[in-house]
C-alpha cells in the first residue's frame, strides 16, 4: 500500500482512488485479524478465546468462498477494476492471498502455541497419537469400528473409479497404498471422504481415560485406523485435505418465471462450485500435493499447508463438551418486557374485558425501544402473537430476511392467517447461506394461507419491518416495528441491534407504502419520514452530511456520529471527506469493512474510525447529525453505508422521534462506544488498526450495558 503524505498542503484532489480509499477486501481481512486477536487476549475467558479462533476460521472460509471467489470472477474481465479503489483484480488477489496466508498461519500458531498449552493448564487436553495409552487405544479402536468405519467409503483411484466429486469445505483424506486389492489392482492412491455428520472432535468417556476433559481429533482416529479400510494392503501415507469452492449463486432473475424453483436448482450445485483454495496437512509429500492441485485445477498460490485440523471452526463444539462454565463469559439473561396477557392458551382468541390493556395500548401510549441482546426479543414475538389472535387486527405485513428454524415468528404468522387475518410475508430467498431455510419457511407460510412474495427483481429486500393494521372504533390504526437486525431468534441473543415499536401515524403510513411497493406494481416513493433504499437513503445521507459541512463553514457547531457494520460507498466517503475539510468533527464506529482513510491531513484529519470487538457482534446502524439550525437528528437503519445497501437493496432508515428513545439510542448506541477502551480498535490511515489506549480507566461499552440491563 502506498505511503500517504500527511502534509497539510494535500487537498481532496491530490489523492487518486488507490490512495483515496482502502480496498474493501483488505479491510475485511483486517477485521478478521481483530477477531483473531481476541483468541490471544488473556483477559478473555479461555474457552471464549477458543470460540474466537473458530469464528475467525469461519470468517476466513466465507471470505474465500464469497469475496475472493468474486474477485476471480471479476478478473475474467481484462478491463475490470475493483471498487472503490480502482485496482486491477489480479493485483488485489495477489495481495489478498498473501494476507490470507498470514492470517491462517497465525490461526494455527494461536491454536498450537497459545490455546492448547493454556487449555492443558486447565486440564483440557487434545491427545496426540503418540500420547495415547493402552486404555485410550482400546476405546478408540472400538469407536472406529462401531461409529466410523460403517459410514466411511474409501474410493480407490483407477480408470473405473475416477477422482470423486469433493464437497465444498468437506474433510477428506488422500491415502497412498502398496500392495494389491481383492481384484489384483494396485493403483496406489485412494480418497476417504468424511461425512459432515461425524464430529471432528471426540470427548473420551470416563471408561477410556483418567481425565475429565480429554479430546481426540477425528483426523487422529482415522490416521491410526485407516489401514482397516484397506485390508490386505499397506498404507504408506494418509493426509487430510479440504477444498474451498466458489459459493456465489448466479440467477438471471429477469429470465426466470419462478425464482424459488430457479434458486433451488442453483443451490443443489453450490457445493461443487469452482475450486478457490486447497488446504492440506503440512506433512503431505509434494508429489501428492501437486496431484491434488492438478485435480482441482489450482496453482500453488491457492495452496495452504496447515499444522492441525483443516477446519478449525469445528472446534466450536469443545466449549460445550468441556462443561467448564468458569472458562466462559458469565451467564447473562436479557431484560424482559412484560407484554403478555395472563393466559394458559396464548394462541386462543381472547375477549377483551372492560378496562383491560393490550400491548397495542402500550405502544399507542408511547414508542417502545428494544436494545438487543440486552433486551429480550420476546416483545417482538409477543407483538406478532397478540396480533395473530386479536379480533380487531385486520392485516399483518412483514419482511423476512433471516428467521432460523422452528421460528415462533413463522408460527405466529401461520396462526394469524388461520385466524382469518390478511397476512403478507415478503421473504428474501437470496439471503446468503439461508436460502434453503427461507425456501422452507416460505412454503410453510404459503401452506398456511399467507400471501408470500419474494420482493423486487434485482433488489434484495433487506429492510426489517412489521406492520399491523388494527380497527379501533371507527378508525384504522397502524402499529409498526422497525429494526436494525434480523427477525432471527438465535442471532438476537448475540447481535447488538435496536428495534422500535411505534404507533406513529407517519411511520405507519410510510411502512404501508413500502409494503405496497414490494407486493404490487406502483410508484409510491413519496415517503414522509422514512428514508428508503434504493430511492432516498443515499441522497438524504449525503444531504445531511453536506448540511453539517455548510454549518461548519458558517462557523456553527457541526457534528456527525455514525455507527454501522460497513462503509465503502465512495460518494458517501467523499462527502465525509469534504465535511472533514470544512471542520466537522466526525466519529465513525464501523465494525468491519471501512474504505475511508481517517487522519489524513488536508483530507480527513477530523475523522476517527473505531471498531468494537466484544462478546456480542456489533450490528446496530445508527446515524446522528447535530443539525445546529434545528433539532438534532437520529436514525436507526437496516442499511450500512455500502454500495449494495444503498443501491441494490430495499432498506429502511427510520427517525428516532420520541425524546426518551432518542436519548437512549444516542447514549447506548453511540456515546458509550466512543468511550470504550477495552474492545476498541482505531483505524489508521494506512488501513491497519491499533488497539485504543487512552490511559483512562478501563471501560467496556458492552459490559456497561450488560450491567445496566441485568
Tell me the C-alpha distance between 125 and 130, whole Å: 13
Question: Catalytic: 489?
Answer: no
Provide CB contacts within 8 A for 678, sequence distance 6+.
43, 698, 699, 700, 703
Q: Which residues of 679-692 are buried (b: 16+ CB within 10 A; e: fewer)?
A: bbbbbebebebeeb
Strand runs labelled E in 223-267: 234-245
Q: What are phi and psi of 177, to 5 degrees?
A: -135, 155
Q: How far is CA 525 from CA 445, 539, 687, in A?
A: 28, 14, 38
Contact 660, 365 (CB under 8 A): no
547 three-state secondary structure: helix
Neighbours of 616 (CB within 10 A): 21
Q: How far is CA 177 from CA 240, 279, 654, in A?
A: 15, 21, 65
Cis bond upstream, residue 375 (ω within 30): no
Contact 334, 496 (CB under 8 A): no
Contact 427, 442 (CB under 8 A): yes
Of 595, 603, 580, nearest in space to 86 by CA: 595
Strand partners, 235: 177
- The β-bridge relationship of strands 368-372 and 495-502 is antiparallel
Catalytic residue among 223, 313, 372, 462: 462
Catalytic residue list: 462
Amino acid at each position: 500500500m502506498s505511503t500517504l503524505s500527511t502534509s497539510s498542503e494535500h487537498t481532496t484532489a491530490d489523492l487518486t482512488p488507490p490512495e483515496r480509499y482502502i480496498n474493501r477486501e483488505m479491510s475485511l481481512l483486517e477485521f478478521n485479524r481483530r477477531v483473531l486477536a481476541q483468541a490471544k487476549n488473556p483477559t478473555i475467558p479461555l474457552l471464549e478465546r477458543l470460540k474466537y479462533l473458530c469464528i475467525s476460521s469461519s470468517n476466513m472460509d466465507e471470505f474465500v468462498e464469497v469475496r475472493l471467489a468474486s474477485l476471480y470472477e471479476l478478473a475474467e474481465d481484462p478491463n475490470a477494476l475493483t471498487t472503490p479503489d480502482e485496482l486491477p483484480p489480479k493485483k488485489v488477489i495477489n495481495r489478498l492471498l498473501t494476507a490470507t496466508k498470514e492470517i491462517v498461519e497465525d490461526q494455527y500458531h494461536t491454536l498450537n502455541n497459545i490455546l492448547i498449552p493454556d487449555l492443558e493448564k486447565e486440564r483440557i487436553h487434545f491427545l496426540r497419537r503418540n500420547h495415547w495409552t493402552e486404555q485410550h487405544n482400546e476405546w478408540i479402536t472400538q469407536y472406529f469400528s462401531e461409529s466410523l468405519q460403517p459410514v466411511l467409503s474409501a474410493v480407490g483411484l483407477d480408470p473405473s473409479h475416477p477422482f470423486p466429486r469433493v464437497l465444498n469445505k468437506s474433510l477428506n483424506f488422500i491415502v497412498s497404498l502398496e500392495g494389491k486389492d481383492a481384484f489384483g489392482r494396485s493403483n496406489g492412491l485412494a480418497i476417504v471422504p468424511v461425512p459432515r455428520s461425524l464430529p471432528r472432535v471426540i470427548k473420551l468417556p470416563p471408561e477410556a481415560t483418567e481425565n475429565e476433559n480429554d479430546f481426540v481429533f477425528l483426523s487422529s482416529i482415522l490416521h491410526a485406523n485407516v489401514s482397516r479400510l484397506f485390508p490386505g494392503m499397506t498404507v504408506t501415507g494418509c493426509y487430510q485435505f479440504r477444498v474451498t469452492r466458489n459459493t456465489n449463486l448466479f440467477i438471471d432473475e429477469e429470465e426466470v418465471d419462478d425464482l424459488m424453483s430457479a434458486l433451488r436448482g442453483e443451490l443443489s450445485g453450490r457445493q461443487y462450485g469452482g475450486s478457490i483454495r486447497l488446504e492440506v496437512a503440512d506433512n503431505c509429500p509434494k508429489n501428492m500435493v501437486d496431484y491434488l492441485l492438478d485435480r482441482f485445477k489450482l496453482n500453488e498460490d491457492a495452496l495452504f499447508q496447515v499444522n492441525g485440523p483443516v477446519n478449525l471452526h469445528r472446534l466450536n463444539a469443545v466449549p460445550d463438551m468441556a462443561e467448564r462454565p468458569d472458562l466462559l463469559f458469565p451467564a447473562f439473561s436479557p431484560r424482559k418486557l412484560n407484554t403478555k396477557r395472563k393466559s394458559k392458551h396464548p394462541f386462543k382468541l381472547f375477549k377483551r374485558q372492560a378496562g383491560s390493556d393490550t400491548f397495542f395500548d402500550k405502544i399507542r401510549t408511547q414508542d417502545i425501544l428494544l436494545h438487543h441482546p440486552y433486551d429480550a426479543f420476546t416483545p417482538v414475538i409477543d407483538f406478532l402473537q397478540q396480533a395473530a389472535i386479536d379480533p380487531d387486527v385486520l392485516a399483518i405485513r412483514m419482511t423476512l430476511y433471516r428467521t432460523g428454524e422452528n421460528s415462533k415468528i413463522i408460527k405466529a404468522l401461520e396462526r394469524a392467517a388461520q385466524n382469518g387475518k390478511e397476512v403478507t410475508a415478503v421473504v428474501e430467498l437470496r439471503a446468503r447461506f439461508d436460502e434453503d431455510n427461507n425456501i422452507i419457511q416460505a412454503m410453510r407460510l404459503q401452506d398456511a394461507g399467507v400471501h408470500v412474495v419474494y420482493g423486487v427483481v434485482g433488489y434484495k429486500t433487506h429492510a426489517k419491518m412489521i406492520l399491523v393494521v388494527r380497527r379501533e372504533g371507527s378508525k384504522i390504526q397502524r402499529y409498526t416495528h422497525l429494526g436494525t437486525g434480523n427477525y432471527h431468534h438465535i442471532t438476537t441473543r448475540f447481535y447488538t441491534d435496536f428495534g422500535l415499536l411505534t404507533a406513529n401515524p407517519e411511520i405507519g403510513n410510510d411502512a404501508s407504502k413500502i409494503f405496497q411497493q414490494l407486493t404490487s406494481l406502483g410508484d409510491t416513493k413519496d415517503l414522509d419520514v422514512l428514508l428508503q433504499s434504493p430511492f432516498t437513503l443515499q441522497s438524504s445521507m449525503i444531504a445531511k452530511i453536506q448540511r453539517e459541512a455548510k454549518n461548519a463553514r458558517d462557523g456553527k457547531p457541526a457534528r456527525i456520529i455514525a455507527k454501522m457494520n460497513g462503509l465503502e460507498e465512495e460518494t458517501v466517503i467523499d462527502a465525509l471527506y469534504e465535511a472533514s475539510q470544512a471542520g466537522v468533527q466526525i466519529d465513525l464506529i464501523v465494525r468491519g469493512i471501512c474504505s475511508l482513510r481517517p487522519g489524513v491531513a488536508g483530507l480527513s484529519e477530523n475523522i476517527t474510525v473505531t471498531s468494537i470487538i466484544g462478546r456480542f457482534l456489533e450490528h446496530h446502524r445508527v446515524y446522528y447529525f447535530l443539525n445546529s439550525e434545528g433539532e438534532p437528528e437520529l436514525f436507526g437503519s437496516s442499511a450500512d453505508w455500502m454500495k449494495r445497501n444503498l443501491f441494490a437493496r430495499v432498506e429502511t432508515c427510520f427517525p428516532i422521534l420520541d425524546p426518551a428513545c432518542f436519548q437512549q439510542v444516542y447514549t447506548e448506541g453511540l456515546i458509550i462506544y466512543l468511550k470504550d477502551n477495552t474492545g476498541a480498535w482505531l483505524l489508521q490511515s494506512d488501513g491497519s488498526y491499533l488497539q485504543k489506549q487512552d490511559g483512562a480507566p478501563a471501560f467496556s461499552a458492552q459490559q456497561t450495558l450488560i450491567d445496566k440491563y441485568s
